[in-house]
A and B are shown apart, each in its own frame.
Chain A
Amino acid sequence: MGKQYIGEFEELILLLIVMLEEEAYGLAIRKALKEHADRTVTIGAVHGTVNRLEKKGFIESTLGGATESRGGRRKRIFTITASGKKALHRSRDVKVNLWNLIPDLAINKL
């Protein structure tokens, strides 16, 4: 599976989806992104990324409840899949390993 690697932004969004649980839909992800990562992106960018993630099989989606503020339109709620979880773990492990390989001195020098 060549598609197991994820980008930094994708990783962020995956994590946020896990975090947001039942509330993981486009605009909420954007808000959380702002709050927790201090990143402002367009709504289109969020949608583009989740769309890609879904295609890669890292997340799945269901259509959820409608609210009045959305003009009665339903939300698409995302949940992480097993392979999404695996990708997240992999990504974290690789980084942790790398950090471990770097001596403390070298880090302090930075």
Chain B
Amino acid sequence: MKHHKKIPPKLADRFLSWFCKGELLEEIQGDLHEYYEELVDKPKWKRNLLYWFHVLNFLRPFAIKKSRSYNSDHSAMLRHNFVISIRKLKRNKTYTAINVFGLTVGIACVIVIFILVRYHLSFDTFHTNSERIYRVITELHQEDINYVRGVPSPLGEAIRSDFTFAEEVAMVTFLNDRLISIPSFEGEKKFKETIVFAEPAFFNILNFPLVRGNKNTILKEPNTAIVTERIAKKYFGEEEPIGQTIQIDNKLNLIITGILKDLPINTDRQQEIYIPYSGIKDHSPWLDHKAWWFSVNQFRQCFVLPKSDVSLVEIDEALSAISEKYYDERNSKIFQFKLQHLSDIHFNPDLGGYIERKNLWALAFIGFFMIITSCVNFINLATAQALGRSREIGVKKVLGGLRGQLFWQFITETTLISALAIGLAVGLAYFALPFVNQLFDTRLGIDLLRDTYLLTFLSMLLFVVIFFSGSYPGLMLAGFKPVRALKSNLTQKHIGGFSLRRGLIIVQFAISQLLLIGAIVIANQMRYTQQADMGFEKEAVIMLPLHGDKTSKKSILHTRFSRIAGVEQVTFCDAAPASEFTPNTNIRVDSRAEDENFSIHYRTGDQNYVPLFGLQIVEGRNLHPSDTIREYLINEATVKRLGIISNQDAIGKKIFINGKKGTIVGVVKDFHFRSFHETIDPLCITTWSDTYVNCAVKINLTNLKSTLEALEKNWNEVYPDQIYEYDFLDERIARFYEQDNIMLWLIQVFAAIAIVIGCLGLYGLVSFMIAHKTKEVGVRKVLGASIKSILWIFGKEFTRLLIIAFIVAAPFGWWVMNSWLENFAYRIEIGTNTFAIALVVTFLVAIVTVGYHAIKAALANPTQCLRNE
């Protein structure tokens, strides 16, 4: 019988004895084995399967081992752990402070990042139908694709009349910085606001509820307006806003018929004054050409809410059918309409999105790094501390303390520290948020009681921090051999993984260096954008926005300004040479049959434009004074794209730009007319006084204050009904890089914090290392070692770690920052300097941190440390 005795699967048996109560194990296992024997005539796999099945079937409450706690009084144990932890923390004040501080700062960063990222992800998600709201956008397919947020004005009507896919279609036109005045009010009351001409369906698509007024009539009757509660309060205070009249740009009178609930902060539609769409033809007739399919303008947008059962493919087909129906064959290929989902609007940089998703991911990643560094810090300090507690642990173990109990004791300690840190971090984040709000122009706050997401996040964070940073030291402590612990000759070797802590220090250094490299590269690029030659004069130029469109007033202003002592030159133009918004249009050379296959950007300005901004004319001459389009200046890029061989050949050619004929009289040297993110594309400059909405004044900086005052005085005399505003051109240009500058600021802060946290860990580690090398140092000194060689004992260790960290961080940093730089058409090269600086900075910081303790140890009198043996 014995020779064909079958043995049941060992693993199953092992598993059984692992989970099964000891007192039941014998009979259960006996029964199971007997059962297995009975299955002798079945194939082996089936036998084993059945066996496993029955074993697993014993996973019942009666059979499962209770956790092995011989102490029935859990609350006493908890209290004990708590008391011991508090005592320990109190005794090692430096240790506690460093730990709590490191964790607090790290967690505060993460909280702020969490709030920011969530805020951006929440944009426009509150609309009832937000899943199926789209904006129609225009793609201009020429040699390259241009993306425009806007659509031609007849598009809305075309969708409504030709297709049935849309439940609602709304055209809206945004006009920035309009002058709002209140006629009924005595004296000065002028405001600048963005106004929106919107079709009634707009409020059926997006949810901005009315608090007053009739939803069915708003935006339908002409010469009415609805405003938000905030605007009503700002304009009329406590007075009844309904029925009041406001005036737009001194010409359009509107009666307020409805009040909108204040807009939530997480929407990109921050406009607060809505006017019926028909109002455009009274306010800006040139924006309302019924059949003008060729003008696409980012301010005229179209929102649609497709019926819920319509597929996107159908809509795409319908939109391309529109291109085919309303354009000739050539243009139907150029003008293509696409849907942009509501959730994409906030994030798409090509279509004026506020922030790119990848920037948010970068932030989240930095947050992740911060948590890692803080936890690493904790682990380092805690394991270093462990050595000092060997006796406590030894005694506990000798008296029958279990591994698990010691582990939980340590976790209690970690929990205390982490909870304290999270509490402080929330406070810190609370005080940091106003600065963040200022930076991002947001209104974020912490509302712990109602913000369940934040609470969940915080508790998860607490959990992660406790277990990530507490479990390793806990396990290590609990694993001490009592004899060795009590003999108190534990050395670094025994407390396990000094190399692990080396690894952790490397991680910390690498994170700091990575952030430093990022900060340096961004800072360099920003300096480059601000200092590089843009090809025109941007210093000492003041830009004044104009709103009156009367030419006569402009010439009065011109004469008056010219008379001011500090003013060198004055020009009227649509925009400065570099500006964020540059209209583009089609171009045709008179001698050629078809439009060119690229679009040309244009600027308008009078004859002083070129000299004032110091643009260089490389061929031909400047524009002659004129109020209408007669002559064009083009840049070198245009010459190249037109395929004209030399600048000289371009002079005298007749061209049509936006359908307006003119002669090329000069070629200007290429200058950056947009931010460094974009390449220099074809551009023309021409005279067209109707479009001049800016007055640029070149001034002498020596008497700045009196000049500015004189400008304001003269302005107010010429335009008594306007608001005087000005800014410096270089500041305007700096605003192109607002996002980049914010990124720079953030990464600098985070790099600094990461370094500080890293230093704390290093400080802890080094003090520990030195405490346990005092004897070695003493012996060495007695035997004649020099202070230098003793310092080197400590120095070489950290130098090595630092260099390994650098080897990890440098290529990664190079790769990340290179892909960031690719957002710029004109960019710096990442030089070796960048890496050298990162290395040297971390090195210096490390030296300072390590130095104090190391020097103290090296200078100590050897008799002091060798005396006690």
Contacts and interface: CB of A to CB of B under 8 A. Distances in A.
Contacts of B57: 42-45
A74 B26 contact: yes
24 contacts: A27-B31, A27-B34, A42-B54, A43-B35, A43-B58, A44-B58, A45-B57, A47-B24, A47-B62, A47-B63, A48-B60, A48-B63, A51-B62, A51-B63, A63-B27, A68-B1, A68-B2, A69-B37, A70-B30, A73-B27, A73-B30, A73-B33, A74-B30, A75-B30
B736 to A, nearest CB: 73
B33 A70 contact: yes
Contacts of A84: none
Interface string B16-35: 00000000101111111111
Nearest to B13: A71
Interface in A52-110: 52, 63, 66-71, 73-76
Nearest to B55: A44
Contacts of B30: 66, 70-71, 73-75
B34 A44 contact: no
A47 B54 contact: no
Nearest to A66: B30
Contacts of B457: none
B514 to A, nearest CB: 55
Nearest to A43: B54
Contacts of B35: 27, 43
Residue among B27, B54, B60, B63 with max Cβ neighbours from chain A (10 Å): B27
Contacts of B37: 69
B53 interface: yes
A71 B33 contact: yes
B54 A74 contact: no
Contacts of A66: 30
B23 to A, nearest CB: 10
Given A73-B27, A74-B26, A43 B62 contact: no
B63 A44 contact: yes
Chain B's interface size range is 20 to 34
A5 B398 CA distance: 49
Nearest to A73: B30
A7 B28 CA distance: 23
Interchain residue pairs A-B with the least CB separation, the first 10: A73-B30, A44-B57, A70-B30, A76-B27, A42-B57, A26-B31, A44-B58, A27-B31, A69-B37, A51-B62
Contact of A69 (B27, B29, B34, B58): B34
A28 to B, nearest CB: 9
Nearest to A67: B34
Contacts of A76: 27
Nearest to A45: B57
A10 B30 CA distance: 22
A90 B398 CA distance: 55
Contacts of A75: 27, 30-31
Q: Which of B2, B26, B53 has the most CB of A within 10 A?
A: B26
Interface string B30-55: 11111101000000000000000110
Nearest to B62: A51
A68 B5 CA distance: 10
Contacts of B2: 68
A47 B31 contact: yes
Nearest to B54: A43
A76 B60 CA distance: 19
Given A42-B53, A47-B63, A70-B34, 12 more contacts: A27-B35, A43-B31, A43-B57, A44-B60, A44-B63, A47-B31, A63-B27, A71-B30, A73-B29, A73-B30, A74-B26, A76-B27
